Chain A
Amino acid sequence: MGTSRVKERLLAAEPEAGAAAGFAHPEVTSESTGSFTRGRHSREDVEDQPAGRPSVISQIFRPIGWISIVGGLVLLELAAFLFWGTGMKTAAAQTELRNEFAQIQQSAARGTFKRPVNGESIARLVIPRLGLDMIVVEGVGHEELTRGPGHMPETAFPGSNGSSVISGHRTTYASPFSNIDQLEPGDEIRVITAEGESVYSVTKSYVILPVDTSVTLPLAPGEKPRLRLTTCHPRFSAAQRLIVEADRIQEPRL
């Protein structure tokens, strides 16, 4: 059996296998042009674009794709950090502040009391309706509010006979005041200081612009001692401030 007979038999049984083996099928190939007529691409196309070499379009879009993926992952991590990571920092600070506050209460019981500096614990804020129980620190700067709700220093001390303001984050840093919009008139707010436990009753809530500082003004004659809780409004924005006002219904009691 000659070589030509072997080619003919092989092509008759398996035309594609024959083509792969380098035998030209007389019905499907053209010897004159050498082009491959059965497949989607001509032989020239395949030779123009060797396997493994990306086209110009993919060379342009591949880096853009990778940059988009990496950028998206970084943004996702940033969002996770803002909503949960910051809360972890606040939770750790609150544990430390609770121990500090217990020591302050003990020293107050011994009659020694020093004026708190910014960042120190000054009170325990309890709002039963929201399940909130956090230590309040002195000051409302960035660093102080990362530790928990902060007392505005220029306002009266919480529990005292004046107008007191406590601010807290609404979305980040454990979001202590996340749900104060749910407080209704009559809801209790308890403030425990070294002088004892005071109870406030919510009277109203309203929204103001950040430039409006009227909430920090002292009480007018005849007004009841008051506590104001302030936070950002709406949620995920600092465009406005939500204020919850509460009148004191119980003086500090040990």
Chain B
Amino acid sequence: MTIGARRAFKWTLLVAIAVAVGLLLWFVAFPYLTTLLPENF
């Protein structure tokens, strides 16, 4: 594997993980968190 290909793979993996974590936060963690807030404004 060339250096360029390794770098591209590394960044693709990082972006994929970031998107997955972002979606998990948006659809699971944040909706749950808002139910724990004492008051919503």
Contact = CB atoms under 8 A, between A and B. Distances in A.
A145 B40 contact: yes
Contact of A238 (B26, B31, B35, B40): B40
B34 A77 contact: no
In which size bucket is the chain A interface? Answer: 20 to 34
A243 to B, nearest CB: 16
B40 A81 contact: no
In which size bucket is the chain B interface? Answer: 10 to 19
Interface of B is mostly: helix
Contacts of A82: 30, 34
A236 B41 contact: yes
B25 interface: yes
B34 A86 contact: yes
Given A86-B34, A142-B35, A81 B26 contact: yes
Interface in B5-32: 22, 25-26, 30-31
A145 B22 CA distance: 25
Instruction: Please list the 8 inter-chain residue pairs (A to B) with the smallest Cβ-Cβ separation, ordered nearest first.
Output: A238-B39, A232-B41, A81-B30, A238-B41, A171-B41, A172-B40, A77-B25, A237-B41
Contacts of A169: 40-41
Nearest to B30: A81
A169 B25 CA distance: 22
Interface in A73-118: 74, 77-78, 81-82, 85-86, 89
B36 to A, nearest CB: 10
Contacts of A147: none
Contacts of B35: 142
Contacts of A124: none
A232 B41 CA distance: 6
A173 interface: yes
B7 to A, nearest CB: 16
A232 B26 CA distance: 24
A77 B22 contact: yes
B38 to A, nearest CB: 8
